[in-house]
Amino acid sequence: MPKVTRPANEKGDFLVDYEEKVFEDVKAEPGEKALVTFHTVAFEGSIGFVNLLQATRLQRKGFETSILLYGPGVTLGVKRGFPTLGDAAFPGHLNFNDQIAKFIAEGGKVYACRFALQALYGHGEGALIEGIRPINPLDVLDVVLLHRKAGAFILDTWTL
């Protein structure tokens, strides 16, 4: 049996070179847009939260950034908490709420499909985080097409 002689990792150790950046730091040209779509359920994987962080990063790089929540994606935009709304039942429980609120506060736009909100998940518009704009289900495709026509960067977020 091989013997491990390397000391155990300690708090504060560096395991990778986190400072090296390989690619240039791309910034938006004036008027450039980005759209991040979400067809994923809150808490069923990391992609929902990771791409909320990506949307925030796009906004900070100067892109006029919008988020589209449709289908199960509307679950990212509802107010949550336990035992009351706004209370974190466990660390990270309010990650989606907090990140969406931060994104909106920094100038981002968030849209949520009314059909998915009511017909699929039984929520009303009052369940949405403040600042999210409810939209008609017929607007879901049109917001994507409008961003496409504008030459926007589009990041689609899906889980099955």
pLDDT digits over 33-53, tens only?
A: 999 999 999 888 889 999 999
pLDDT of residue 60: 98
- Tokens of residue 78, six digits: 């509802």
Is the pTM of the predicted complex or chain greater than 0.85?
Answer: yes
Distance spanning both ends of the chain, measured CA to CA? 43
Average pLDDT of the residues in 127-140: 98
What confidence score (pLDDT) does residue 45 get?
83
pLDDT at position 8 is 93
Report the chain's mean pLDDT, rounded to a whole number: 95
CA distance 37 to 50: 12
Q: How far is residue 112's CA from residue 66's CA, in Å, rounded to a whole number?
A: 11
